[in-house]
Structure 1
Amino acid sequence: MSTSTGAVWQDLQRRGLVAVSTPEDALQAELAAGPVGLYCGFDPTAPSLHVGHLTQVLTLRRFQEHGHRPFALVGGATGLIGDPRPTSERTLNSAEQVRAWVERIRDQLTPFLDFEGPAAATMVDNLDWLGGMSALELLRDVGKHFRVSKMLAKESVSARLNSEHGISYTEFSYQLLQAADFLELYRRHGVRLQTGGSDQWGNLTAGVDLLHRVERQQVHAMGTPLVTKADGTKFGKSEGGAVWLDPAMTSPYAFHQFWLNSDDRDVMAYVRYFTTLDRDEEEQLALDLQERAHLRAPQRRLASELTALVHGPQVRDAVEAAAGALFGGGDLRDVDERTLLDATAELPSAELPVGASVVDALTATGLSPSRSAARRSIAEGAVSVGGSKVAGEDAVLAAEDFVHGRVAVLRRGRRTLAAVRLAAL
């Protein structure tokens, strides 16, 4: 852990992680003066965090590594409401569902932070104070300090007001609840900085303004940039939907592939945002990208670092072994069953029994458009099963071709793959 509490600001700026903040000179001076308590909120609106949340999780971690005290707030109260989206009203989840998701997200956040030592992290739930607050207390103690004109100017609110869906009073009031969180954490723990995405800037500054009005304190807020993709698609989305941190919702293999498939135009920004590599390592990766882009060194390093961070080094090693076996000529039998099934889940596939012909397997999986095309590929020596070249068009799938008794991997050419799953008897 760094002893220079002020150095975190230079690190965040170098990485491009400061999109907006309250007056920078005052914030920098407070960070340099000694440890600062800061918080970021995570609402349980789904059973898992996704990769988009990593920007905020790792920002808390960076502050802690420089000696500051992070508070991870899982919003058991605000999760019952939901921050207004720009498009339409959220569906309200039951209290029981939200409670279950609070526990899952707390468990996901815990490994990223250190809960011991002088900069020990603290996990908090705003249901502890908002749950017991009456409507009259909210209106008198918090709402009295807000001006409707300023609330209406919030980007997501104005977008909804101008849409056919409008906005409910419930979601319109969300910013009061988030501001109350900052006030309560200041009173309980001396928290003086809130972080979040730049799209949350209206909510972040609502808390700053409330503390100024109620406590006559100058506190701070910082917004990180919205992470985008160069092709215009939303960051954190794959063809199957969001890329989740929960391995049951997005397999570690798919998680690794998400980062490995980063666009050349995006990858160095992701390296700065999501890894702890120093400037020299980043510059070397940038040079590799410029001179040997086909080797995809930044993407490989990014995928390796993030998979180890989220799922652990052993899982990362298993995932990379599976990718090597599929695309680099390694032995599939060295890959554990779960990782193998995850790695082949997105391949074209078919179910066939032991003894089915390779010609049938090629056509059933779509690797060949016809039986005659399949025979030609075999005759040209372009087909292999599990890494072993198919010798003739009369070849069949043997029991030993089905790794772990579950799946056989077909290859046509160098990189066109399909999976044959063993048909149930």
Structure 2
Amino acid sequence: LDFIRDVGKHITVNYMMAKDSVKKRLEGDTGMSFTEFTYQLVQGYDFYYLWKNHNCVLQMGGSDQWGNIVTGTEFIRRKDAGEAYALTTQLIKKADGTKFGKTESGAVWLDPARTSPYQFYQFWLNTTDADAKSYIRIFTLLDKGVIEAMEAEQDAAPHTRVLQKALAKDITIRVHGEDEYEKAIKSTDFLFGNTGIEFLNELNDAEVLGLFEGVPNFTVSLEELNAGINATELLAGKTTVFPSKGEAKKMIQGGGVSVNRNKIATADDVFTTDNLINGKYLVAQKGKKNYFLIVAE
């Protein structure tokens, strides 16, 4: 009620109805909810608060945010006779028509605490060919001629992913630096079996967990591991890398199970804290591509 009284009185319904975004929704088949209609007022007040308390005079956004942002500049003018500005750019869309933004799935952040440099690099590396052609023009500072040459090279051999690699390299270095880019390359190589297990010693806990995001994680007792745990108990008792000890033994005998990139010779092999990477991790593999991270705590 306080918000409606203190903020709502400064912006009329006529002003809000005049926005193109509102008109289009009202004329469409689905209409517009009250929540959606009043959102511009909430965002407008947000801009006012930043202007009032943090000297923020410019709000930037995609072109779809123009109406909401200028509601903020208007609210600032009407309430405090202040000046603020709006700047929007053409809305960036993916090839499938969905917008590129934080509210969409697979959002990417500049803050390494939200998106690790490795995940950041992988985000750009995994873009589609169509999106890569667009993004490399938007997000990099590469010359037009260089981009066109790479496009021709990729069109001739799409499997090389020349555009994606150039895009991922350029933006990862500019956001996180050369060292983090090199680490992201090594992380990628590690998961494809081209880098030794010792690489994990170069990573901190957050980077290790980021590298294995989406990989099944298990926790085992550090005390029990210190006393020693045999392979079948570790992989099918203390964890569920295998659903049963019998299945674990069978695959071990077939030479298809590794821990820390070393094949387990027998089901009775014992693992202790001496085997831990960074004093904390064991990396189990079934075959070449199925990874499991075991954390000792």
- TM norm. shorter chain > 0.5: yes
In 2, Cα distance between the equivalents of 1:234 and 1:246? 17
Q: CA deviation at 1:348?
A: 0.5
Residue 94 of structure 2: which of 228, 237, 253 is its match? 228
Q: CA deviation at 1:207?
A: 10
> AA paired with 2:276?
F
In 1, Cα distance between the equivalents of 2:258 and 2:196? 13
Q: Residue 44 of structure 2 contacts residue 69 of structure 2 at CA under 8 Å; is this kept in 1?
A: no
Q: CA deviation at 1:196?
A: 4.0
In 2, Cα distance between the equivalents of 1:172 and 1:342? 35
C-alpha change, 1:397 and 1:276, in structure 2 (3 Å) is farther
Aligned to 2:44: 174
Matched, 1:270 2:117: no
In 2, Cα distance between the equivalents of 1:393 and 1:419? 19
Paired residue secondary structure (1:420): strand
Residue 314 of structure 1: which of 179, 189, 200 is its match? 179
Q: Residue 378 of structure 1 contacts residue 391 of structure 1 at CA under 8 Å; is this kept in 2?
A: yes
C-alpha change, 1:157 and 1:233, in structure 2 (3 Å) is same
Q: Residue 348 of structure 1 contacts residue 418 of structure 1 at CA under 8 Å; is this kept in 2?
A: yes
Aligned to 1:337: 204
Aligned to 1:153: 19
> AA paired with 1:298?
L
In 2, Cα distance between the equivalents of 1:246 and 1:275? 19
Paired residue secondary structure (1:254): helix
Aligned to 2:219: 351
In 1, Cα distance between the equivalents of 2:283 and 2:272? 12
Written as runs of structure 1 = structure 2, the 5 A alignment for 1:178-193 is: none
Aligned to 1:165: 35
Q: Residue 232 of structure 2 contacts residue 248 of structure 2 at CA under 8 Å; is this kept in 1?
A: yes
Q: Residue 256 of structure 1 contacts residue 307 of structure 1 at CA under 8 Å; is this kept in 2?
A: yes
Paired residue secondary structure (1:346): coil
Q: Deviations over 1:117-138 (max 9, x none)?
A: xxxxxxxxxxxxxxxxx99xx9
> AA paired with 2:119?
A
Aligned to 2:83: none
Counting helix residues as a fraction of each chain, which structure ranks higher? 2
Paired residue secondary structure (1:409): strand
Aligned to 1:393: 267
Percentage identity across paired residues of the two chains:
28
Larger RCO (CA within 8 A; separation ≥ 6)? 1
Q: Deviations over 1:346-381 (max 9, x none)?
A: 321112335333334444655434333323332332
Number of equivalences: 262
Paired residue secondary structure (1:421): strand
Paired residue secondary structure (1:266): helix
Aligned to 1:44: none
In 2, Cα distance between the equivalents of 1:346 and 1:253? 13
Q: CA deviation at 1:231?
A: 8.5
Residue 412 of structure 1: which of 272, 280, 286 is its match? 286
Q: CA RMSD in A?
A: 4.2
Runs of at least 5 residues in structure 2 that lack an aligned partner in the other structure: 52-56, 75-85
Q: Deviations over 1:66-120 (max 9, x none)?
A: xxxxxxxxxxxxxxxxxxxxxxxxxx9xxxxxxxxxxxxxxxxxxxxxxxxxxxx
Paired residue secondary structure (2:93): coil
Q: Residue 252 of structure 1 contacts residue 307 of structure 1 at CA under 8 Å; is this kept in 2?
A: yes
Q: CA deviation at 1:408?
A: 1.3
TM-score normalised per structure 2:
0.68
Aligned to 2:117: 252
Q: Deviations over 1:24-64 (max 9, x none)?
A: xxxxxxxxxxxxxxxxxxxxxxxxxxxxxxxxxxxxxxxxx
Matched, 1:281 2:146: yes
In 1, Cα distance between the equivalents of 2:251 and 2:241? 10
Q: CA deviation at 1:295?
A: 4.1
Runs of at least 5 residues in structure 1 that lack an aligned partner in the other structure: 1-91, 93-133, 182-187, 210-219
In 2, Cα distance between the equivalents of 1:238 and 1:198? 16
Mean CA deviation greater in 351-360 or 316-325: 351-360
TM-score normalised per structure 1:
0.50
C-alpha change, 1:303 and 1:202, in structure 2 (3 Å) is same
In 2, Cα distance between the equivalents of 1:256 and 1:314? 12
Q: CA deviation at 1:382?
A: 2.3
